[in-house]
Amino acid sequence: MTAPVPDPGGEAARRAYRREGYAQLGDVLAEDRVARLEAEALRLYERWAPARGHGLRRPADTASAPVTFDDVGALSVLFNELAHDVEPALWAARVLGGPVEPVRIALTYAPPHSPPPPLAPASPRQPAGSMPDDGVHLWIPLQRDGSWHLRVALRSHTRDASLPRRGWSRWWAGRRARVGGCGGSGPCVVAVHPLLRIGTGQNQSRYLRVSAVLTYRRPEPGDIPWP
């Protein structure tokens, strides 16, 4: 059973969340659900890794180390699961005071044993949901074709990451510029899932820790509803 979604609490808090366009969601994934996601990720990893020759790993030194970004199949499971999760959408609807649709998902990858950094309201210096440079930040706009688009975007990232450093940096810079805003005209709010683990065995050092961040907006009149 999924843990209850905490109410942000109070009209003043709701006004503040609307003003900042940012809020943090508590623990909405129960342990059994996390275990199920991990099991599916590992199943896909076992199917993909032998043929693709890579695993779920990421160097801690992202400034100089080559990119080794990981199992597209396993990560697409998380995308599909989280993008269609009802509970954070209901929470976002309460905060924004009306129906909402997801417009963007982000996964942030922290190296093993790194404490999760705090997520704070957006400022001119730091995009909402950003993390220190010891992690990976993948921001993907959600399109109305759902998880298929997300898988394609991940494949594109994997392909570009295999190019020389200059090509990968150019791809990355283009996506980083899209972090700000809601991807639409309506007001938006950000929901932060707790860290998940994806790994290849019992050794904790072989796990990546994943924090999923979803941005919801309240659609405006004339918008096509999310399917």
Find tokens 């190296």 and name the residue: 111
Q: Where are the alpha helices (DSSP H) in 84-161?
A: 86-96, 147-161
Do the domain assignments include residue 138?
A: yes
H/E run at residue 211: strand 208-217
Exposure string over 137-151, b if 16+ CB within 10 A, otherwise e:
bbbbebeeebbebbb
What's the whole-number mean pLDDT along residues 106-133? 38
Range from 5-14, 30-39, 52-61, 95-104 carrying the lowest mean pLDDT: 52-61
H/E run at residue 32: helix 31-52
For the cut 50, the answer to whether the pLDDT of residue 86 exceeds it is yes
Do the domain assignments include residue 82?
A: yes
Smallest Cα–Cα separation from 200: which of 40, 51, 55? 55
Do the domain assignments include residue 68?
A: yes
For the cut 70, the answer to whether the pLDDT of residue 97 exceeds it is yes
pLDDT recorded at residue 99: 78
Do the domain assignments include residue 1?
A: no
pLDDT recorded at residue 221: 66
Do the domain assignments include residue 225?
A: no
61 or 143: which leads in pLDDT: 143
Smallest Cα–Cα separation from 161: which of 184, 136, 187, 185? 136
86 or 51: which leads in pLDDT: 86
For the cut 60, the answer to whether the pLDDT of residue 26 exceeds it is no
> Domain residues for 181?
20-217
Do the domain assignments include residue 80?
A: yes
How many domains would you assign to the chain? 1
For the cut 70, the answer to whether the pLDDT of residue 208 exceeds it is no
Do the domain assignments include residue 223?
A: no
Do the domain assignments include residue 103?
A: yes
pLDDT recorded at residue 90: 75
Output the average pLDDT for the chain: 43
**What's the pTM value of the predicted model, to 2 decimals?**
0.35
The whole-angstrom separation of Cα 54 and Cα 68 is 7
Angle at 69 between CA 75 and CA 125, to 5 degrees: 90
